[in-house]
Each structure stands twice: as C-alpha cells, then as structure tokens.
A and B are shown apart, each in its own frame.
Chain A
C-alpha cells in the first residue's frame, strides 16, 4: 500500500514538474484582414521568415521604422521579411496607423 501511495505522490510530483517553457510560435504567416494583423503578436526563432498575406478590401503597407517596409499590398499579395536579429519589432500599417503588430524574435 505504501508503495502505491509513494508511486501516486511520485507521479503527481513528476507531472507537476513538467511545466514546459513557452515555446516560440511556429507561426510565420500573418494574415491581414478586416483592418487587423492576425495574429497581432508572434514569437519566432532568430532566422525565421515571416510572411504577411493580404486578404483585405483595401490597400495596406507594412512598416517597421528603420527595419522593413513593404510595397503597397493589394488583396492576394504577400510580403516577407527574415528576422536575423533577436529583439522586439513593432510594426504598423502606414496607411491605417491604428493597425499595429509585434514580432518577438528569440
């Protein structure tokens, strides 16, 4: 009986210790629709290429000051950028400045 109790406690202990750190997102595709970046914020590994896919009714232009700047994007068009430096990158649509997003590179 003591063995069973020990095993249960041991199992609970092990399972409680199994808190994995938050893994960086595998997502590297951001969809622009309904005047929003979806997802708004992603975590990626250094060297990941992020692609923004335009699926909205109006033109958008993605800008991260001093880092990258897309052309004017129409529906169906894409823009990609490879993040080779660790850091946090805020970006926005220069046509609709309230549209904002963030890329966290680890």
Chain B
C-alpha cells in the first residue's frame, strides 16, 4: 500500500512539472527537454518528502511551505548553474530558455522570474497535495 507521504510527494512532483510545462509551453522558448522535467520532478518529490517528514510541519506549515518553495527553486538553479560552469563550460545562464517579454539583458528580472516562478509552482503543488490527500483522511 502506498503511504500518504509517498502519495503527497508524488502529487507535488506531478503538479510542479505540470505548471512548469504550461509555463514553458506558452511563455518560454525553446521548450525544455524531457530530462529537464524528470530532474525537476525528482527534485520536487524529494524536497516534498523532506518537508513532510518534518516533525513540526503541521504546526509551522505557513512558514515551511514558502521557504521550501524557495529552497526548491534555489536547488534547481544551483544544479543548472553548476552544469553550465562545470560540465558544459558555457557562460552563466546559457541554459535558460528565453522568457517571452523579458529581456535576458535585465539579469535581475530574468533570473528572478525563473526563481520566483519555480518557487510558486512548487508552493501551489504543496497546497494542492495537502488538500487532496488530507481529504482522504490523512
């Protein structure tokens, strides 16, 4: 039997990449690769496992959820910045696709949009998972 912890983490991963896919489909160019979405799913899954196993999650979820979103987004950024500078040997930020309507030259707005966007997708997914699985009697 699948535990509620696993179920919730899976839902978080699935919804995070769903929102991200929609974002990439309509607001960025080019579309991201399957590998990218798989990495993002796994990262969201394990970060979700991490926060759901915190003893005080239920009590302090108003603080934990936003912070976990920022942690998730930061980890995703760290992964790709390390890949750029290490394995690929390309300049900082080369991996990120264009965002429609936001210039890459405005580094703060451009990277901030990525960072904030990823965090928001994760946070909404956590809230959805809490709602869905709790309604089953968790």
Secondary structure type dominating chain B contacts? loop
| Contact indicator per residue, chain B 28-66, by CB within 8 Å of chain A (1) or not (0) | 011111010000000000000000000000000000000
CB distance from A54 to the nearest CB of B (A): 12
Please give the number of chain B residues whose Cβ is less than 8 angstroms from any Cβ of chain A in the complex: 16
Contacts of A94 in B (CB 8 A): 88
A98 near B31 (CB under 8 angstroms)?
Answer: yes
Measured in the bound complex, the distance between the Cα atoms of B90 and A99 in whole Å is 17
B88 contacts A61, CB within 8 Å?
Answer: yes
Task: State the main secondary structure of chain A at its contact with B.
Answer: loop
Task: Give B105 Cβ to nearest chain A Cβ, in Å.
Answer: 9
Is B30 a contact partner of A36 (Cβ separation < 8 A)? Answer: yes
Considering the chains assembled together, what is the distance between the CA atoms of A58 and B94 in angstroms?
A: 6
Question: Which B residues have a C-beta under 8 Å from some C-beta of A?
Answer: 29-33, 35, 88-91, 93-95, 97-98, 104
